[in-house]
Amino acid sequence: MKLTISNLSKTYPNGVKALDDVSLEIPTGMFGLLGPNGAGKSTLMRTLATLQEADSGTVTLGDIDVLKDKGSVRKTLGYLPQEFGVYPRMSAYAMLDYIAVLKGVYQASERKELINALLEKVNLYQHRKKNISGFSGGMKQRFGIAQSLIGNPSLIIVDEPTAGLDPGERNRFYNLLAEIGENVIVILSTHIVQDVRELCRQMAIIDKGKLLFSGSPDDAISSLHGKIWEKSISKDEMDSHSKTHRLISSKLVAGKPLIHIYEDADPGNGFRSSEADLEDVFFTRIAGLA
Ligand code: ADP
Ligand code: MG
């Protein structure tokens, strides 16, 4: 099974081009869709989830025409939207039971077995009788995964699932996602580089609706080998350095800016070579430098 996106474009009525001729092949396993806020990730996710129309292009999932045959996609889709909306004052168990009925699991005993297994899987069994509205961010996201897994989907879409989670919650969530399996397509959309680094063997980077990279994180990182240079500077050196070098990122380390620049050869000027990482890839691609 494979998801194939070809020349997908979407312009909103206000003129924003959210998807600009995106073509992408997504194999089974965990796939990371990385991009800054406003890149077009949610637009793409909603289009794949059949909730929104594209202007042009095609998408196929195996032999399903995703944009035309929405019913077939929905039968095999698990979706965790970025905004889950209002969390009902309903217990986790009751809500899963309700969703399972909607998804066509009509037999009560089958439903009970399924829901208990899912609650165990996402580590919410002991909280099954509590209202979802009172759950922590991490618990809500794990609940979201449980509901998305009902009906054995072959395509699972999770849109920015780790935003707002604390480090412990994020780790638990990573472990859960990593377990979901190799035989389904899982698309994880995120602006957090670490999400992709830890979970995904294949990835894409998008910004302003355009595809900037697709491939493996390792390949992306190797392509920058020997081209990333770093230097710790003072705050008032920032201006001059960003004028004379191709700055890709700056972060404060103990209150002092540590800058990364992109250069084919040693720039001198006190820079030292830095081992490229996925964050360098992200910023280099977004800046259009590689
Ligand atoms: P991301 O999920 O990567 O943050 P989105 O797909 O939400 O990106 O948004 C992409 C661009 O489209 C942004 O500029 C956003 O403001 C715009 N946009 C998103 N939804 C709408 C909409 N319903 N109407 C108009 N513009 C929209
Ligand atoms: Mg989004």
Q: Where are the domains of the chain?
A: 2-216, 222-286
* CB 81 less than 6 A from any atom of ligand 1: no
Q: What is the pLDDT along the chain (290 residues), one digit of tens a residue?
A: 999 999 999 999 999 999 999 999 999 999 999 999 999 999 999 999 999 999 999 999 999 999 999 999 999 999 999 877 767 789 999 999 999 999 889 999 999 999 999 999 999 999 999 999 999 988 999 999 999 999 899 999 999 999 888 888 889 888 888 888 788 999 999 999 999 999 999 999 999 999 999 999 999 999 999 999 999 999 999 999 999 999 999 999 999 999 999 999 999 999 999 999 999 999 999 999 88
Residue 80 Cα to ligand 1 middle (Å): 17
Residue 84 in tokens: 């889950």
Architecture of domain 2-216: 3-Layer(aba) Sandwich (3.40)
41 lines ligand 1 (CB under 6 A): yes
Please tell me whether residue 30 adopts helix, strand or coil conformation: strand
Q: How far apart are CA 163 and CA 250, in angstroms?
A: 22
Query: Across-strand partners of 204?
Result: 33, 214
14 CB near ligand 1 (under 6 Å): yes
Task: Give the torsion sign (CA, 158, 163, 164, 166).
Answer: positive
CB 5 within 8 A of CB 24: yes
Task: Give the C-alpha separation, 71 to 75, whole Å.
Answer: 6
Is the shortest distance between the CB of 37 and ligand 1 below 6 Å?
Answer: yes
Closest C-alpha to ligand 1, atom 12: 18
**Relative to the alpha carbon of 159, which ligand is closest?**
2
Amino acid at site 85: G
pTM of the model as a whole: 0.93
DSSP 15: S
* 144 pocket-lining for ligand 1 (C-beta < 6 Å): no
How many beta carbons lie within 10 A of that of residue 239, not counting itself?
Answer: 9
Q: Is 190 in the pocket of ligand 1 (CB under 6 A)?
A: no
| Residue ID of nearest Cα to ligand 1 atom 13 | 38
Give residue 196 CA to ligand 2 midpoint distance, Å.
16
Give the contacts of 80 (CB within 8 A, at least 6 positions apart).
141, 144, 145, 147, 148, 156, 157, 158, 159, 161
Q: Is the CB of 10 under 6 A from ligand 1?
A: no
Q: Is 164 left (phi over 0), alpha (psi -120 to 50) or beta?
A: left
User: Does the C-beta of 16 come closer than 6 Å to ligand 1?
Assistant: yes
Secondary structure (3-state) at 220: helix
How far is Cα 197 from Cα 206, in angstroms, rounded to an integer?
Answer: 16
Q: Give distance in angstroms: CA of 18 to centre of ligand 1.
A: 6
C-alpha distances in Å from residue 290, one per residue of 200, 213, 281, 285: 21, 10, 8, 6
> DSSP alpha helices (H): ranges in 40-188?
41-48, 70-75, 92-102, 108-121, 137-149, 167-179
